Structure 1
């Protein structure tokens, strides 16, 4: 309550302070101007984030990596001081933090993908109708997959799942002609193995 008899309530939601005058039913928001400036500073680093994404050759989930980069910028700007930076400029410090965070995220996703890719055998057995006792057939299929590169293997497994060339191209982010090249190359390699 102030000197005029008005009752005020102060709500602190992290950096945003809202004061409400209950008597007049008027609301005055005092949003920290530094927050808006901070958001603008994060937006200034978006070209740097995009550059790092390109440098790391990220082709999938670029929006997710942009968000990872924004969070890295936020953390870097929040923790930046001349002593912690050890002589680096703010821009160099932020770049290093973004780059390190992106590499960490790529490793995390790669680790997850490697754990999930163990199901390739399940996909092969399911699509070929092989039973658990067909170890010879599964061994041959595994050898065949070993001769294919990553994209050719992706084409084969998605084709076995019933996807078309156009659907594979859309899912992988490559052109239809690229997927057709994978198909042609995979068929040539598999044909050479068959005899």
Structure 2
């Protein structure tokens, strides 16, 4: 079946999801992204799935939208971390910030450094646990230790 027909049959799913998450800002952008993803999903759908095409599209588009929110949140967190460093050092000199960041990284253990780099890259806890070959509770401990060292390192003296 051509995508145009599938789109007209299932486009309501996109608008249900946009309303579910109360998306008002950048609504057109999300609509376009979800439409593109819908096209990709219809290309990969196998009719022998236990889900009907409508259920399949709803579930996959819902998870895709959640992943979009998470990736935007990660970008926001990275920007917030950079802003915090700038505020606390009262120095916008990029070279100085980079040197301070390098010095901060030296305060961390190898695993904590790996965790920080991967976390800033946007990986989730379960992915971090797999990549670092440890449990999720160990990943949480890395986060706590890095946070503690961060606040100690960047707090005004």
Q: TM-score, normalised by structure 2?
A: 0.49
Richer in strand (by share)? 1
Q: TM-score, normalised by structure 1?
A: 0.40
Richer in helix (by share)? 2
Q: Which has the larger radius of gyration?
A: 1
